[in-house]
A = this chain, B = another copy of it.
Amino acid sequence: MNIRDLRYLLALAEHQHFGRAARACGVSQPTLSVQVRRLEELLGVALFERGGKAVTPTAALERMIGHAREAVAETEAMIAVARNQRDPLCGRFRLGVIPTLAPYLLPLVFAPLRQALPSLEVEPWEDQTEALLDRLRGHDLDAALLATEVDGPDLASRPLFDEPFLAALPPEHPLVQREVIAEADLAPDILVLAEGHCLRDQALAVCGQGGALSGALRASSLPTLLNMVAAGYGTTLVPGLAAGAAQDAGIVLRPLSAPSGRTVCIAWRTHFPRCAAVEAVGDVIAARLRGFAEGAAAGTVG
Footprint of B on A, CB under 8 Å?
1-4, 6, 43-46, 48-53, 56, 58-60, 63-64, 67-68, 70-71, 74-75, 77-79, 81-83, 85-86, 88, 91-92, 139, 153-154, 269-274
Q: How far is the CA of A49 from the CA of B46 in the complex (A)?
A: 44
User: Closest residue to A72 on the B side, CB-wise?
Assistant: B71
Contacts of A67 in B (CB 8 A): 74-75, 77-78, 81
- Could you say which of B48, B49, B271 contacts A49, with CB atoms under 8 Å apart? B271
Q: Which of A70, A78, A88, A153 has the most CB of B within 10 A?
A: A78
Q: Tell me whether A52 and B86 are in contact in the complex, defined as CB-CB below 8 angstroms, given that A46-B274, A64-B78, A91-B59 are known contacts.
A: no
CB distance A64 to B82 under 8 Å? yes
Q: Tell me whether A49 and B273 are in contact in the complex, defined as CB-CB below 8 angstroms, given that A75-B71, A83-B44, A139-B56 are known contacts.
A: yes
CB distance A50 to B3 under 8 Å? no
CB distance B74 to A71 under 8 Å? yes
Contacts of A139 in B (CB 8 A): 49, 56
Contacts of A6 in B (CB 8 A): 75, 78
Q: Tell me whether A154 and B51 are in contact in the complex, defined as CB-CB below 8 angstroms, given that A2-B3, A86-B44, A273-B46 are known contacts.
A: yes
Write the nearest CB–CB distance from A167 to chain B, whole angstroms: 43
Contacts of A272 in B (CB 8 A): 49
Given A45-B85, A71-B78, output 19 extra A-B contacts at Cβ < 8 Å.
Answer: A1-B3, A2-B2, A6-B75, A6-B78, A44-B86, A46-B273, A46-B274, A49-B139, A49-B271, A50-B271, A51-B270, A51-B271, A52-B153, A52-B271, A60-B81, A63-B85, A67-B75, A68-B78, A70-B71
